[in-house]
Amino acid sequence: MSESSSRELLERLIGFATVSRDSNLELIAFIRDYLAGLGVECELFHNPERTKANLFATIGPRDRGGVVLSGHTDVVPVDGQSWTVEPFQLTEREGRLYGRGTADMKGFIASVLAAVPAFLGRPLTLPVHLAFSYDEEVGCLGVRPMLAELERRPHKPRLCLIGEPTELKPVLGHKGKLAVRCQVQGAACHSAYAPYGVNAIEYAARLIGKLGDIGAELARPERHDERFDPPFSTVQTGTIKGGRALNIVPAECEFDFEVRALPDFDARQVVDELQAYAETELAPRMRAVQPETGISLKPLSAYPGLATSPDSEAARLLALLSGSTEFGTVAFGTEGGLFEQAGIPTVVCGPGSMEQGHKPDEFISREQLAGCDAMLRRLALHLQGEGGSA
């Protein structure tokens, strides 16, 4: 197979509508075939339904750890967004490449695939691993079985570079996230007799108010970490539904909330505090009216934060590749904390900006894509000869 540019590969990748709710297998098959054409073997890690897959490949020696280049293949939906271009067809205008996933984060994947011939053409003393996952956008779910397998292997990767869009600025940290659904079971009755029912919406409102109080406590100045923006752990309620009609006391209400936690804060503390409030303050009042009422909390998804040491091998390599030791953080989450939990130190640096991610007319500049190509060429040079010891 002849060499392909990152722009050509990005055009192919954007053509696959890999929204998280749908399969990514056509895209994975394309990457597998592309790599096979260059003599690189792949492993696939499927979901239980075999409708999606992670892809893992190694270039270079297999008897030692190496550097993982990681990206997710899924994208967010375009439903309800006003695009001026076809979202799943690459469009170029004035040096910008438009399409869903260009920035978040198929631009990085395209650059990695374009760099494969450069990796193959050098005598690498440490391998390069390619790790492309599914279902990152819905809670970093898909990468977990692949990481579980890597954790068991005798030659675990030494470090990981996740190419989320940071405008190629080096990033060592981000917050973790915990998403939870709260379900309130009340008791219905005619609204004329409201005191004889248990209004699920009103009790949900009390719980949401409690979350606001918890969030205000987390925002106290002594709990700040100025490396992050905002510099504290946050709590917010994102969806709520309940009620059938105005003249019926609502028997059900549910709402979803999330905690965006600083790396040193356990988000489960928020859930524990809300659970204690529900059990000690609210549930007894509800059950005094109707014993079958109650409140339940159900985790929806979670991923840990990331806080890589600036003195680590991973940070030193990132400084070399990016040309900067001005390490930053990002507000959005990545799979980085999961790689860390698997014993693989992780950093984040990739082309494009999350300012364009998840929006209509998402784009990446050709300049950013070229900058990522150059960064990966520096990695190929670094991993040959003496560079492989860093």
Contact 56, 133 (CB under 8 A): no
Arithmetic mean of pLDDT, 148-165: 94
Residue 386 has pLDDT above 50, yes or no: no
- Tokens 């939870």 correspond to what residue? 180
Residue 389 has pLDDT above 70, yes or no: no
Arithmetic mean of pLDDT, 93-97: 96
State pLDDT tens for residues 329-370.
Answer: 998 999 999 999 999 999 999 999 999 999 999 999 999 999
Which residue, among 373, 388, 377, has the nearest Cα to 119 in the 3D structure?
377
Residue 390 has pLDDT above 50, yes or no: no
Tell me what pLDDT residue 384 has. 85
Which residue, among 326, 382, 380, 383, has the nearest Cα to 349 in the 3D structure?
326
Which residue, among 307, 26, 320, has the nearest Cα to 171 in the 3D structure?
307
Contact 106, 13 (CB under 8 A): yes
> Of 11, 104, 135, 136, which one is the catalytic site residue?
136
Residue 388 has pLDDT above 70, yes or no: no
Q: Which CATH number fits domain 6-174+306-389: 2.40.10.120, 3.20.20.100, 3.40.718.10, 3.40.630.10?
A: 3.40.630.10
Arithmetic mean of pLDDT, 159-175: 97
Which CATH number applies to 176-303?
3.30.70.360
Residue 2 has pLDDT above 70, yes or no: no
Determine the Cα–Cα distance for residues 355 and 361; give it in Å rounded to an integer: 11
Domain residue ranges of the chain, discontinuous segments joined by +: 6-174+306-389, 176-303
State pLDDT tens for residues 297-335.
Answer: 999 999 999 999 999 999 999 999 999 999 999 989 999
Q: How confident is the model at residue 1 (pLDDT cuts 50, 70, 90)?
A: very low
Active site residue 136: yes
Residue 112 has pLDDT above 60, yes or no: yes
CA-to-CA separations, 7 to 10, 32, 369, in angstroms, rounded: 5, 18, 8
Give the mean pLDDT of the chain.
Answer: 95
- One-letter amino acid of 96: R
Active site residue 373: no
State pLDDT tens for residues 196-217.
Answer: 999 999 999 999 999 999 999 9
Contact 374, 357 (CB under 8 A): no
- Strand runs labelled E in the chain: 42-46, 53-59, 67-72, 91-93, 96-98, 128-133, 159-162, 171-174, 176-185, 234-242, 252-261, 294-303, 306-307, 328-330, 346-348, 363-365
Secondary structure (3-state) at 24 = coil
Residue 4 has pLDDT above 90, yes or no: no
Cα 283 from chain centre: 35
